[in-house]
Amino acid sequence: MIGLTNLWTNRHAFMLPKLNTRRAVFVLGKIDEILAWDKDRERERDVRVVELGRYLCEVRSGQYWRLDRLKSFDEFLERRFPDSRRKAYYLMAIHEHLTRVPKQQLKEVGWTKATELAKVARREGERFDSATWLHKAQVLPREQFKREVERHLTGRAGV
């Protein structure tokens, strides 16, 4: 008869707790404060990753990784980006392929949209219409923008 204990009810369980208005206002305020903090941190992270891409490119070109007595740039990435070297390469691609896009605007659209912009810029080369694509990145939600890039690159709608 395992599980039958779940059928027992406590007649007091259906009573609503007494509302502590003062505590409720405090707790809800704390939740809003934490969510705002998280949003600010995300915005700050987007700003910082544009800089990070630039510095990673400089480490690679100047071979600064040798200062840590490493054998290669990839070994440097393995140590500094143990979870995702791919992200490091995305950040470097943003820096390398979006040279005509003002860095402040890249910071505003965020690194995930900037990564998608870099894919289009790499494909288009000199023909890359940065103003049009930057506008799309600014106005479209992230997933819709990714689908737009996918459609542009492959000629068919993304999944």
**Measured distance CA(115)–CA(89) in Å, rounded:** 10
CA angle 31, 32, 36 (to 5 degrees): 120
In a domain, 8, yes or no: no
In a domain, 2, yes or no: no
In a domain, 15, yes or no: no
**Measured distance CA(29)–CA(70) in Å, rounded:** 49
Handedness of CA 124, 125, 127, 133 (dihedral sign): positive
DSSP 120: H
- Percent of the chain with pLDDT strictly greater than 70: 89
In a domain, 17, yes or no: no
pLDDT in tens, 20-30: 899 889 988 99
pLDDT in tens, 63-93: 998 999 999 999 999 998 887 888 889 889 8
Residue 2 pLDDT grade (very low, low, confident, very high; cuts 50, 70, 90): low
Q: Which residue has the tokens 């860095």?
A: 103
pLDDT the model gives residue 60: 94
* Burial bucket for residue 38 (CB in 10 Å: 0-12, 13-18, 19+): exposed
Residue 135: domain span: 23-154
**Measured distance CA(152)–CA(155) in Å, rounded:** 5
Contact 110, 137 (CB under 8 A): no
User: pTM of the prediction?
Assistant: 0.65
pLDDT the model gives residue 66: 92
In a domain, 150, yes or no: yes
In a domain, 75, yes or no: yes
Total structural domains in the chain?
Answer: 1
In a domain, 81, yes or no: yes
Alpha helices in the chain (DSSP H): 21-62, 73-80, 85-97, 103-109, 111-124, 130-139, 142-154
